[in-house]
Amino acid sequence: MALLETHGLTAFYRDFQALFGVDVSLDAGETLAIVGANGAGKSTLMRSISGVLINGARQILFEGRPIGALAAPQVMALGIAMVPEGRKLFPSLSVEENLLIGRYGRTTKGPWSLETVYRLFPILKERRNNPGTALSGGQQQMVAIGRALMSNPRVLLCDELSLGLAPVVIRDIYAAFPAIRESGASIVVVEQDIGQAMKIADRLYCMMEGRVTLSGRPSELNRAAIHAAYFGADS
């Protein structure tokens, strides 16, 4: 049984339908990448799983349990944490407080604590007392990842980590992923950069216009097929 799966997932923003029956599955310990152009529905998929958007209960299963209709705090309580698109740090909170809020109300034991997050991203320890939003974009992204890890999640959802960041900074951030995998978390990353996605993922889903157009292991997929699934054009 997959750890997390979606079955015919549909999602709407009022009258606008953003997802048309998406089937995705994540096994324990696996890292998935979801790629696609702007508006393909990647972020909507993340928002649906994390409970920001409410869907049909049985459209999303976590260990076989229907969670599609749960709101974000309940989903988080099950062990699914999200790094939201655009980082969304809390401006009134310092770096350290932003990290601490990630484990709000949780008593779960696990590998992640302030100490281990600071070991993963040492620069954050130096800047622990700065307001979260006073940091550079890359450092803010580190805080957002650390904040999600503080809950010791079983599934870590990362929405557009590289948005607006320089390639060298993106490389630094993805350098942290082997350690996160070793800690036992299963990971879903949404990424526009196909090269980056193929480097870190065990499996890859390509989305276009609210549907999955291609999926498989990076070694089995060739660039031309991904290109076609990504842009919808035979090129």
Partner 1 sequence: MNWADTILQGILLGGLYALFAAGLSLVFGIMRLVNLAHGDLIVLAAYLILVLVDTLHLNPFVALVIAMPIMFGVGWLLQAYVLNRTLGPDILPPLLVTFGLSVVLQNGLLQAYSADSRRIPSGYLDTASISIGSLHAGVMPLLTFVSAVAVILILNRLLYATELGRAFRATSDDAVTAGLMGIQPHRTFAIATGIAMTIVAVAALYLGTRSNFDPTIGPARLIYAFEAVIMGGLGSLWGTLIGGIILGMAQTIGGAINPEWQILAGHIAFVLVLLFRPRGFFPRAVD
Q: For residues 154 and 203, which CB has a smaller minimum distance to partner 1 in the complex?
A: 154
Binding mask 140-169 for partner 1 (x = CB under 8 A): -------x---x------------------
- Taking each helix axis from N to C end, the angle separating 167-174 and 137-149, rounded to the nearest 10 degrees, works out to 20
54 belongs to the binding site for partner 1 (CB under 8 A): no
- Between 52 and 169, name the residue whose CB sits nearer to partner 1: 52
Minimum CB separation from partner 1 for residue 77, in Å? 6
Residues within window 195-214 making contact with partner 1, judged by CB under 8 A:
none
Q: Min. distance of Cβ 149 from partner 1 in angstroms?
A: 12
Q: Which of 2, 28, 37, 52 binds partner 1 (CB under 8 A)?
A: 52
> First vs last Cα of the chain: how many Å apart?
37
6, 43, 44, 50: residue in contact with partner 1 (rule CB under 8 A):
50
Strands 4-13 and 60-62: antiparallel
Give the residue with the Cβ less far from partner 1, 141 or 196.
141
Cβ-contact 40, 50 below 8 angstroms:
no
Number of other CB atoms surrounding residue 234 within 10 Å = 7
Compute the least distance from the CB of residue 103 to partner 1, in Å: 8
Residue 131 binds to partner 1 (criterion: CB under 8 A): yes
Residue 47 · residue 63 · CB < 8 Å: no
- The interface mask with partner 1, positions 174-193, x = CB under 8 A, is --------------------
Is 37 a binding residue for partner 1 by CB under 8 A? The answer is no
Helix (H) or strand (E) holding 186: strand 186-191
Does the footprint of partner 1 cover residue 216 (CB under 8 A)? no
Report CA Rg, the chain.
17
Torsion sign (Cα): 212, 217, 218, 219 = negative
Question: What torsion, rounded to 10 degrees, do the Cα atoms 167, 168, 170, 176 define?
Answer: 160
Q: And the tokens for 130? A: 């700065």
Asked if residue 93 binds partner 1 (CB under 8 A), the reply is yes
Report the sign of the C-alpha dihedral through residues 168, 170, 173, 174, in that order.
negative
The residue ranges that bind partner 1 (CB under 8 A) are 50-52, 71-73, 76-77, 81-82, 84, 88, 90-93, 97, 100-102, 104-106, 131, 133, 147, 151
